[in-house]
Amino acid sequence: MNIRYFAWVRERVGVEEETIDVPASVATVADLISHLKSLDDNHAAAFEEEDAIRVALDQMHVEPDAILGDASEVAFFPPMTGG
C-alpha cells in the first residue's frame, strides 16, 4: 500500500512517501495507524497525537474507522491550514 505524509507528519516520519506491506489483520485506517506506530520510533512519534492526524483514502477525507478496502493510496497529515 502506498502511504504519503504531509507537513509535520512527513517531517516526523522522515519520508514523503513509502510502500508498506500491510498485514491481513489491518482492516481500517485506525488499524493501519497502530501498525505504522509499531514500525519504528519515527512513525511512533508522528502518530503520537492520534487526534491531530487527518486521513485521506485515494484523495478523499475519511475518518479513522474507514475500511481500507482496495484503496491504493493513504495519506496522513495534520489539520489543514490553507486559505
Partner 1 sequence: MTVTPLVRVQAEDFDAKAEAERLTGGRKDVGALVSFTGLCRDEAGTLEALELEHYPGMAEAELTRIAQDATARWPLTGLTVIHRYGKIPPGDNIVLVVAASSHRRAAFEAADFLMDYLKTKAPFWKKEHFAETGKTSWVEAKDGDDKDAARWT
Provide the binding-site residues for partner 1, judged by CB under 8 A: 4, 6-8, 56, 59-61, 75, 77-83
* Cα Rg, the chain, nearest whole Å: 12
**Residue 11: φ, ψ to 5°:** -65, -40
Residue with Cβ nearer partner 1 (8 or 15): 8
CB of 25 to partner 1, least distance (A): 28
Is residue 34 within 8 A of residue 48, CB to CB? The reply is no
Q: Which of 32, 8, 4, 30 is nearest to 18 (CA)?
A: 4
CB of 35 to partner 1, least distance (A): 22
CB of 82 to partner 1, least distance (A): 3
Query: How is residue 20 annotated by DSSP?
Result: -
